[in-house]
Homo-oligomer: A and B are copies of this chain.
Amino acid sequence: MTSHMPPGFTGSSIDRADRLRLDETELSQLAGSYRARLLRLAGHDPVLDETGRLGWDSMADHGAEEMIFLGLDGDTPLFAPLGPVETGRPAWSLFGLLGQMEPKDAALWGAARSLIEWHNRHGFCPRCGSATVPFRAGWGRRCSACGTEHFPRVDPVVIILAEHEGRVLVGRQPQYPPRRYSALAGFIEPGESLEEAVARELAEEAGIAVGNVRYVASQPWPFPGQLMIACLAEAESDAITLDTNELEHAMWVDRAGVEAALRGDAAAPFEPPPPYAIAYTLLTRWLGEDTEPLAPSLSPL
């Protein structure tokens, strides 16, 4: 196999050191160390330093605010601040920034962002309605009344490139930038495998029946906290019945069209998603597949 570019938001390579999250003594020593660093943020967004890398502050500049212990980068303990932040859609300028960040920096910031947003949306216990407080070094919250422990939510999503006779299906949501098309995607529901979710999403959004679902790659998506599971699937026909509640338009694109899109040609049939989105990874892997066939499926569908 040729080596592939890893999906965006992966590769942070720090040690998350789960073993230390409940060790209050060790954690307070790490937080008090001169080596400890606190992630610099503007709202939810990263603040880069003059070299283009993630900005970090020394812990001494900060008071006793709540923190998340992100892990150890070698012998450097890394923390992120926990506190109320405005929620909402990320600014378009953030997406420009992400295109310039080192992948490992984007991954580390993405983990922090997902955790911070989860805390801000979980100040109360869904079981009893009382206030919750952080525990496990920011990797959980505990109810102050009933004691129930809550853990950060990760929502699995399937994102699929359906194939039919040398073409792939891309779709467009109304809020996308002009000319942008991407792979179809949807949340995995309770009681379904990822292969079943793939089949349901393509049937719902495009009226297309698929088989031979093949896993390709995965990435965490920090807006606010999805696990994107990218697959290829074989469509039984190319007749599209669009769900206009979900998609503005969908179309089949051949190899030359996808190549033109990824090259950024002005005459390409669409503008692709940014390289840090796993839909971009899917498109590049599908192109690679033409010269180097994908393995047979291990999936039950």
Contacts and interface: CB of A to CB of B under 8 A. Distances in A.
Given A1-B297, A227-B156, A126 B123 contact: yes
A115 interface: yes
Interface in A189-248: 189-196, 200, 204, 215-220, 222, 225, 227, 229, 243
B127 A129 contact: no
B130 A121 contact: no
A151 B188 CA distance: 11
Contacts of A114: 190-191
Interface string A122-151: 111111111110000001000000000011
A21 B153 CA distance: 24
Nearest to A278: B193
Contacts of A154: 155-156, 187-190
B194 A229 contact: yes
Contact of A129 (B10, B19, B129, B187): B129
Contact of A227 (B112, B127, B129, B194): B194
B18 A118 contact: no
Contacts of A194: 218, 227, 229
A43 interface: no
A96 interface: no
Given A124-B127, A124-B129, 18 more contacts: A9-B191, A12-B191, A16-B189, A16-B200, A110-B191, A111-B189, A114-B190, A114-B191, A115-B191, A118-B190, A124-B125, A153-B153, A192-B220, A193-B220, A195-B218, A215-B215, A294-B295, A295-B295
Interface of A: 1, 4, 6-7, 9-12, 16, 18-19, 107-108, 110-112, 114-115, 118, 121-132, 139, 150-156, 187-196, 200, 204, 215-220, 222, 225, 227, 229, 243, 285, 294-300
23 contacts: A4-B298, A4-B300, A6-B300, A9-B191, A9-B193, A11-B300, A114-B191, A115-B190, A121-B127, A123-B129, A124-B124, A124-B129, A152-B189, A153-B155, A154-B155, A154-B188, A156-B156, A190-B225, A193-B219, A193-B220, A194-B227, A215-B298, A285-B298
